Structure 1
């Protein structure tokens, strides 16, 4: 504001305030209907729009760079203690969750045979190929179960529960999921003052969780081996138990309408050029399948023979 400029103040009645600049000889109208009050916003810097500077009546000592003022520091001072308080409130729930995930026997629930069978495959392949680095097998096991299955459920509980996940809850669950990911990491990642709060928040708990993960893998390794016959019997049992939960006709319709019909020309061209498709007459079989679908004759025996 240059010397000699005139400032005009008007009553608040749904008010507009005008700033008169001597250089331009005109008023610049500022709408204040949505402006925060002096109490709630003690520090506001000027903005430059269309060559006109809008100034707020504040003390010069309160004018600081945007994003570096006391107001932002106050937000951090309030945010961090509340974050720690919330972490302490849900700590028991997080511990119980991790204890349930990384326990072979927890409250009468035994480990599924499929997990033991899969982890034994990892151990056998590592021994067969001479892999002595424990980090490799640890990563195989972590990527196959905790990181692929449990982290996804922790971050997205709406996949199995009929709930609405707000943005605030989503951010909190992401921190818990990140904690589980850090616990499954074989190596340690040093933290600095620039590390995100999500990592600093559980920094003291991660070593304990890591020990839970290592103990979990050791306990599984010490369990009796699952034979191929037992595994096949288990798969057969599950197939029979869920035979009415899945509908082959619905799956066939979805594949045909959503994929085969949509990319019909590309599929026929690929079947014509492919040697395996030519030897097995897949192009003709695809044409017969189209006739069956178009004529709405979904006979199970005919589809099976194709």
Structure 2
């Protein structure tokens, strides 16, 4: 194909001048391709997506059950924090159950579990490919939708990731509801929060590394100024004498 050159001559080019194509034309074609691709996904790839969902279904169910199930005692830290939120709601006379539900889901589900679902490489030595990252984003969004009180509504214009798990979300919703609303949790042993128990455990660690700790305190300028090595020796003598007396 030919066109007028800068100096009135002709210049050959092959079909599309990609390097000289105006920015507006490139953006227009890119937008058109994205719309066509978005339209093709529900029609062409929906069967493949449903097949993949069926393959992963048991793993997703097991994962959600482990994270939100109450078949085993919930960690003490979770119970303690959830009880604290309940106390704050009572103290400030907040009677809206949805408000407390949001507090708890944001603190545990969305700020902890969702982060791990979307980024497993944070705790596991794994490499997350682009395809796997897309799958995990869909599962994480399903998890978020499962932790809301409001009804999950979808329609013909809803994104594909919303449609994939639309029928499963009502089944998942009861899991965080049970966890948040006081199903059997782990019993708290008051002795585990005793300062004397904490000091005893700390001293057991100090005894194990007594010489290196003492040497480090003697070499540290702040330690020398506060006589920390000498104080540690005094504590050690008191503790050992106490044990001997017992």
Normalised by the length of structure 1, the TM-score is 0.55
Deviations 1:244-281 (A, max 9, x none): 9xxxxxxxxxxxxxxxxxxxxxxxxxxxxxxxxxxxxx
Q: Deviations over 1:98-146 (max 9, x none)?
A: 111112334xxx3211111111111122122221111011111111111
Aligned to 1:153: 116
Q: Give the distance between the partners of 1:129 and 1:71, measured in 2 at CA.
A: 51
CA separation of 1:185/1:304 partners in 2, compared to 1, >3 Å: closer, same or farther?
farther
Shift of 1:69: 9.4
Alignment of 1:52-201 (within 5 A): 66-67=32-33, 76-106=42-72, 110-201=73-164
Contact residue 114 and residue 231 of structure 1 kept, 8 A: no
Q: What does 1:1-306 correspond to in 2, within 5 Å?
A: 19-20=1-2, 26-30=10-14, 66-67=32-33, 76-106=42-72, 110-220=73-183, 222-223=184-185, 226=188, 229-230=190-191, 232-233=193-194, 236=198, 240=202, 298-299=220-221, 301-302=223-224
* Greater Cα shift, 116-125 or 66-75: 66-75
More helix by share: 2
Single out whichever of 125-134 and 70-79 deviates more from structure 2. 70-79
Whether the aligned pair in 2 keeps the contact of 1:104 and 1:219 (CA below 8 Å) is: no
Q: How many residue pairs are counted as aligned between the two chains?
A: 206
Cα-to-partner distance string for 1:65-119 (whole Å, 9 max, x where unaligned):
943998885565332221111111100100001111112334xxx3211111111
In terms of Rg, which structure is larger?
A: 1
Is contact 2:145-2:169 (8 Å) kept? yes
Shift of 1:299: 4.3
> Structure with the greater relative contact order (CA < 8 A, sep ≥ 6): 1 or 2?
2
Change (3 A) 1:90 1:72: closer
Gaps of 5+ in 2: 23-30, 207-218, 229-246
Alpha-carbon separation, structure 1, partners of 2:115 and 2:169: 19
- Contact 1:113 1:231 (C-alpha < 8 Å) held by counterparts: no
Give the distance between the partners of 1:177 and 1:51, measured in 2 at CA: 40
**Greater fraction of residues in strand:** 1
RMSD: 3.9
